[in-house]
Each structure stands twice: as C-alpha cells, then as structure tokens.
Amino acid sequence: MIPELRDAVGRQLGTRVLEATRLGGGDINDAFEVSLEDRTRIFVKTHPDPPGGMFGAEARGLRWLEETKAIRIPRVIAFSDEQPAYLALELLTPAQPQPDFEEALGHSLAALHAFGSPSFGLDHDNFIGRLPQTNATADDWASFYWTSRIEPQLRLATDRGLIDGETHARFDSLRRVLPERVGPGEPPSRLHGDLWGGNLHVDEQGRPCLIDPAVYAGHREIDLAMMRLFGGFGERVFAAYEDASPLAPGASDRVPLYQLYPLMVHVNLFGGSYVDSVRRALSACV
C-alpha cells in the first residue's frame, strides 16, 4: 500500500494504519487487509485511476442493499473518489458455510428482491465492473432493459468493432419483439446487479454475504439469470428462492434474454471471445 493511501485512510478514520497486507482475487482493484492503531482490522480496495465517482457509487449501492436487512452486506466505513481513491469496508472473516447455506441464500435473495422501488432504474448512475451503468428511471421494464441495459453495451461493442452486422441485425429484431419477451409485468425489485459466484462470500457465522454490487431496481429474473451464467450456485439455491417467491410461468425460457446484458458487458470488458455466447443467447430469444 502506497504511503499516500496509508495517510489518507488514517486521516479520514482519525487513526493510524499500522500494517497493510495485500489480498488476491480482484480483477479491477487492489485489495488490502489493513490493521489500525486501535487493533481494528478493515478491508480497503483501491485503484490508481478509477472512473470518476466509482467508489462513491459502490458505497451508495452497498448501503442501498444493506438497509433492507435481507442479507449480509459489508458495512461501509469510508471512501474517497479523490486520489488516492479507495473504499474501506468491514473485514469479513469467513467461517465454514452453515449446512443450510444454499437455502439461506435463496430465501435471502427473495427477501432482497421483495424490496421494491417506485420505478425501474435508480436515482443515480453507477458502474458494472469498470463500465458506466446508466440508470435513468422508467415505468416500463422492456423500455428500461433496452434503453439502459442492452443498447448502451451494443453501441459500445459496435463502436469497438466487436459486433458484426448480422449480430446487430439480430439485436434489432429483439428490440422489436422485446415487450413480448420480457415476461409478465412485475414491480421493480432491488437487485444486486452483478451476481456471479465471485461476489458471494461467507461471513464469520457461515451465512451468505454479497459484495461488489452494480445495483438498480429491475426485474428479479435478471439477477437469477446471471447466477446461472457462470456457475457457482447450486440448484438448492434456486429451489429455495422458488419456494419463497415463485417465478412467473416461462421464467426458464427467459434466462437467455436476461443473460444478454451481462454477456454484452463481458464482450466490452474482456473482448470478442464472448460474442459467440451472445449469438447463442440471441438465437434463443428471436
């Protein structure tokens, strides 16, 4: 940890950083376990040149999820979007998962999604990975999903030469039929927004804990579809969710539709190797 960051963290918390141990696992940020003068240990992540407002947006998102009390979310301690930019959170010391860990996760996600919002979107924009995520509010889910989710990623991928004309034409076809494909109307749900296996942790009591969100209010099936995209979640999780909050008929058929957004994000973050997966998802939709 660079001296400037040590000083900034200590100054904002009114204490002194005694030790900082680098942690592995982050794709975007550098992470540290930090010991403070009062013997408190915290988690700090930092980036040398983050997009403007990235850590502040994440802090707001964590607090937005935490206020539901539906599932464990690490407490925000401090953040700065000025250099050296960082986010300080309570340190999670994982225990062995409880025997009913998967059931608890399914039930907790259902409880989280039950916390709604007046409209789809959010009152501020944020990020998914290091990509901007637009959250302009809308009353209609199909309009929001196209305008604030699919279209921005499609435009970016097209500008970068990652999407060919035939695939773009398939997206145009999807746009025309999207209102018929999104499923029965549901109220906006409070979403984690980036729910892959790496963002699920175990807390000190062996219970589920979620980190690194890309929050907004949306259709709950999109969180569940992303959980199925890269694995890491057992069928007991989905069964427990369904038991607590049954999905509308046809939900399994809509999984490819709701995987399109995270797949397009991966195209723009990691390159054209994900384009074939996008094409397969499109083929299942139109």
Q: From first to last of the 286 residues of the chain, give the pLDDT tens digit.
A: 788 999 999 999 999 999 999 987 667 789 999 999 999 999 999 998 899 999 999 999 999 999 999 999 999 999 999 999 999 999 999 899 999 999 999 999 999 999 989 999 999 999 999 999 999 999 999 999 999 999 999 999 999 999 999 999 999 999 999 999 999 999 999 999 999 999 999 999 999 999 999 999 999 999 999 999 998 999 999 999 999 999 999 999 999 999 999 999 999 999 989 999 999 999 999 9
Residue 125: which residues within 8 A CB-CB, separation 6 or more?
57, 132, 133, 134, 135
pTM: 0.94
Query: What is the distance in angstroms between the CA of the first residue and the CA of the last residue of the chain?
Result: 50
CATH 3.40.50.12780 fits 101-285, yes or no: no
Residue 103: which residues within 8 A CB-CB, separation 6 or more?
236, 237, 240
Q: How far is residue 32's CA from residue 29's CA, in Å, rounded to a whole number?
A: 10
Q: How many CB atoms lie within 10 A of CB 100?
A: 14
Q: Find, among 217, 233, 223, 211, the residue nearest to 255 by Cα.
A: 223
For the segment 198-218, what is each residue's pLDDT rounded down to a tens digit?
Answer: 999 999 999 999 999 999 999
Residue boundaries of the structural domains of the chain:
3-90, 101-285
Instruction: List the beta bridge partners of residue 23.
Output: 31
Q: How far is residue 33's CA from residue 182's CA, in Å, rounded to a whole number?
A: 42
- Return the active site residues: 194
CB 122 within 8 A of CB 134: no
Q: What pLDDT, on the 0 to 100 scale, is given for residue 123? A: 95
* CATH number assigned to the domain with residue range 3-90, chosen from the 4 options 3.40.190.10, 3.30.1330.30, 3.30.200.20, 3.40.50.11540: 3.30.200.20
Q: What pLDDT, on the 0 to 100 scale, is given for residue 26? A: 65
